[in-house]
Structure 1
Amino acid sequence: MRVLHLGKYYAPVRGGIERHTQMLAEWCVGQGDAVAALVHQTPGRWRGSRETLNGVDVTRAGCLAAPVYTPLSPAFPVQLARLLREFQPDILHLHMPNPSCFAALALPSARRLPWIVHWHADVPPDSPDWRLRTLYHAYRPFEQALLRQARTIVATSRPYLEASAALAAWKDKIRVIPLGIDDAHVPVATDAAPAWPQRDGLRLLAVGRLSRYKGFDVLIEAMAHVGGASLLLVGDGECERELRELAVTRDISSRVRFAGNLDDDTLAAAYATADAFVLPSLDRGEAFGMVLLEAMRAGLPAIASAIPGSGVAAVVADGETGILVPPGDAAALAAAIERLGDAALRQRLGSAGRTRWRENFTLEKSARAIRALQSERPD
């Protein structure tokens, strides 16, 4: 097959959607497919580029800026038309949310192809950000037109599908296929491992963009009520200064290290040297939680938020592979951290989590299901 992916960004940009798109594309290359991806440059880089990464033909359209998480790229429709003409894909695979994908609606050469729309997350109409709420009124008609055009829609979990107002009218053509990650080698403690804030005590790892919906402020508040534990917080974002100030205010700055973004080897070593993983997200902006799969693969027990309508609870089995707590509840989060001071409990949950990952969330399992959809022929 010849498959063209449309997404926001691609490696080396980090993020759950970007990571999934890369792994899926490279896996399909390994099956003999010709795979291309059209994405954006990072905001502010207005010159486009084209390169081959691990067999994937990656075109990055210039991006002027990204207000309200939306890349502004006048070149994206032009590059899409060029790729449709030159690459001649058999199928389009659109990763949403991404307003640039709407360009496909205007191109007859795109509409003649079958589309798979990979629904990674809603644009929340009740977002606390008034800009998102306002812009969604203009966005929704194009979103629904895209879903109408799709041959197949892929949702990443049953709970997210059932809670999505955007997907409500299209359930007859939706398939639920969880995300997956490959069986990469996870190193043990080496020189690549980042320095933890302190030598002794429970080592907690959290990974993600330092944004409000991630709930890292709640985690820092919880840490103030837990003696002895230390936190390695990996990622950057708009809330970093605020979070650093909160750690100082709560007098736990010596137990929290802001590590920024880490390369793959150092991040893998962080998973290998941690005792537990924490995902304290607040709302359905956390649609699935790819980092939870990384933690499970590393044999780490996870503490995560039981967000209504999110896929998080479909990944973490409460009491079996981790502990679920109400989102935004610092006291409940602190109590869960205290529980994981029990080494035997950590071992049991972590071992069960690794088994659950192998049985349900491998890249092989996810990618084979996606490729089967890509290979389907109309009746």
Structure 2
Amino acid sequence: MPEGLPPDTSDDANDVLIVLTYYWPYVSGLTNVARDVAEGLAARGWRVCVVTSKHDPALPTHDERNGVRIVRAPVLARVGKGTIGINLTRMAVREMRRSRVVNLHLPLIEAGVLSRLSPVPVVSTYHCDVTLPPGVVNDLQRRAIDRASAGALRRSVTTVVSSEDYARHSRLWPVIHPTMAAIPPPCLPRGAGRPTFRDGSGFHVGFLGRLVEEKGVEHLVDAFRALDDPDARLLVGGDYLGVAGGSVVDRIRRHAGDDPRISLLGFLPDEDLDDFYASLDAFALPSVNAFEAFGIVQVVAMRAGVPALVSDLPGVRTVVSTTGFGEVVPPGDVVELTAALRRTRDAPPDADAGRAAADEHYGVDAVLDAYEAVFTKAADR
């Protein structure tokens, strides 16, 4: 551990400091993991602080939500999906000096510097490799982020990954495995909803997520359109306005054409999600590259009794293989995805058994217990 100021033990000290690029109210799988861990630990009595970027200039610099103190750093510039600003480093270092342990959520361009400057033990949560389209600028950005991540991982006392399956296929596996701890993301169960999004009694398929390149939603649209079933419906929910890196909503609309069975719902607020899942007969996660490392939404769907059809990608496939509740298909394979949709429609799996398996393996309490153990062990160093 690098030398520095000892942790502050005063009443306003942090038990854990969480640092990441985007945080609530921005919505993504990565931000949801950080939020649910932060708020879950705060509910257990931990003093939790989050330092993040002020991705929306209208957000306050200092905030509090569900027991978590939030500090947002102004952004100087944006490159692709990331942000640049010395303010985040400065604010994070200040909070580190009165924390027991710091948890960096990677990828994070500042991770290398922060791990070097940290006066307290570092735990890194490595979500995924950065995947960008070919190009000189993107290649430079990817290499810079990989270098930052690798530096942070070498200096971390523990590296948390969502699954060993994904970690083994990561570009950074050599620096992940020495300190690896596999802890799945916390997957909060949904409440009992009403099927208000249903349109008739036909087979309803749903997708929920940001409408971005890596999600492969156009392949799901093509596969659904190949279903010769006039009563079937496809409900596509997800943000395409405030998306880092830009959305592919226009491409999805072109693939959907004038098919009246397909609905683009846009961003769904939290209060609508129970009803959304209650309206589905199947959930699809047709991701096409390794930027998708787990897919929390598939577990949420399963815990609502909805089987998942997911791409055969490291990490993503582990949930279906663990629970047996759904199907795994090759990424981008429209023919196989159509066949899987048809099988799920004609012979739906046991919803009660699937829900029970998802609850058993991906309950929130077990995940928070694991994070508590990792942070406590790190802080004791």
TM-score, scaled to structure 2: 0.88
Contact kept, 8 Å, 2:323 with 2:357, in 1: the verdict is no
One-letter code of the match for 2:105? H
One-letter code of the match for 1:17? L
- Look up the SS of the partner of 1:9 in the other structure: coil
Q: Provide the residue aligned with 1:240 in structure 2.
A: 249
Q: Provide the residue aligned with 1:57 in structure 2.
A: 69
* Residues 17-39 of structure 1 deviation map (CA, whole Å, 9 limit, x = unaligned): 11111111111112211000011
* Residues 280-338 of structure 1 deviation map (CA, whole Å, 9 limit, x = unaligned): 1111111000101110111001111112xx21111112892001111111011111111
- Look up the SS of the partner of 2:354 in the other structure: helix
One-letter code of the match for 2:70? V
Which whole-Å CA distance do the structure 1 matches of 2:277 and 2:157 have between them?
39
Counterparts in 2 of 1:268-347, with a 5 A limit?
A: 268-307=274-313, 310-317=314-321, 320-342=324-346, 345-347=347-349
- Look up the SS of the partner of 1:153 in the other structure: strand
* Greater displacement, 140-149 / 283-292: 140-149
Q: Provide the residue aligned with 1:357 in structure 2.
A: 358
Contact kept, 8 Å, 1:182 with 1:364, in 2: the verdict is no
Point out where structure 1 has 5 or more consecutive residues left out of the alignment. Answer: none
Pick from 160, 175, 185: which aligns with 1:179?
185
- Look up the SS of the partner of 1:117 in the other structure: strand
* Residues 93-150 of structure 1 deviation map (CA, whole Å, 9 limit, x = unaligned): 011111133341453xx1x2111100111124xx434343332233333222111111
Which whole-Å CA distance do the structure 2 matches of 1:333 and 1:355 have between them?
25
Which whole-Å CA distance do the structure 1 matches of 2:111 and 2:175 have between them?
20
- Cα 1:102–1:282 shift into 2, 3 Å: same
Contact kept, 8 Å, 2:18 with 2:102, in 1: the verdict is yes
One-letter code of the match for 1:118? T
Which whole-Å CA distance do the structure 1 matches of 2:42 and 2:345 have between them?
44
* Residues 28-79 of structure 1 deviation map (CA, whole Å, 9 limit, x = unaligned): 1122110000111225x28751111010001111224432111122321221
- Look up the SS of the partner of 1:95 in the other structure: strand
Which whole-Å CA distance do the structure 2 matches of 1:74 and 1:47 have between them?
18
Q: Provide the residue aligned with 1:104 in structure 2.
A: 114
Pick from 26, 32, 35: which aligns with 2:48?
35
- Cα 1:135–1:268 shift into 2, 3 Å: same
* Residues 138-172 of structure 1 deviation map (CA, whole Å, 9 limit, x = unaligned): 33332221111111101110111111121313412
Counterparts in 2 of 1:154-303, with a 5 A limit?
A: 154-189=160-195, 193-194=196-197, 196=198, 198-228=199-229, 229-237=232-240, 238-248=247-257, 251-252=258-259, 254-303=260-309
One-letter code of the match for 1:117? S
- Cα 1:328–1:243 shift into 2, 3 Å: same
Which whole-Å CA distance do the structure 1 matches of 2:239 and 2:175 have between them?
37
Give yes or no for the alignment of 1:116 onto 2:123.
yes
TM-score, scaled to structure 1: 0.89
- Cα 1:319–1:80 shift into 2, 3 Å: closer
One-letter code of the match for 1:375? T
Identity %, equivalent residues: 28
Which whole-Å CA distance do the structure 1 matches of 2:36 and 2:175 have between them?
30
- Cα 1:32–1:160 shift into 2, 3 Å: same
* Greater displacement, 23-32 / 167-176: 167-176
Contact kept, 8 Å, 2:109 with 2:144, in 1: the verdict is no
Which whole-Å CA distance do the structure 2 matches of 1:105 and 1:318 have between them?
34
One-letter code of the match for 2:200? R
- Look up the SS of the partner of 2:70 in the other structure: strand
Q: Provide the residue aligned with 2:9 in structure 1.
A: none
- Cα 1:366–1:327 shift into 2, 3 Å: same
Q: Provide the residue aligned with 1:70 in structure 2.
A: 82
Which whole-Å CA distance do the structure 2 matches of 1:63 and 1:199 have between them?
47
Contact kept, 8 Å, 2:111 with 2:151, in 1: the verdict is no
- Look up the SS of the partner of 1:316 in the other structure: helix
Which whole-Å CA distance do the structure 1 matches of 2:151 and 2:159 have between them?
13
Q: Provide the residue aligned with 1:370 in structure 2.
A: 371
- How much does 1:236 deviate? 2.6
Which whole-Å CA distance do the structure 2 matches of 1:94 and 1:24 have between them?
13
* Residues 158-201 of structure 1 deviation map (CA, whole Å, 9 limit, x = unaligned): 11111112131341211111112234423233xxx34x4x4242
One-letter code of the match for 1:211? V
Which whole-Å CA distance do the structure 2 matches of 1:79 and 1:72 have between them?
14
Q: Provide the residue aligned with 2:153 in structure 1.
A: 147
Which whole-Å CA distance do the structure 1 matches of 2:146 and 2:36 have between them?
29
Point out where structure 2 has 5 or more consecutive residues left out of the alignment. Answer: 1-13, 241-246
* Residues 265-286 of structure 1 deviation map (CA, whole Å, 9 limit, x = unaligned): 2122100111110001111111
- Look up the SS of the partner of 2:289 in the other structure: coil
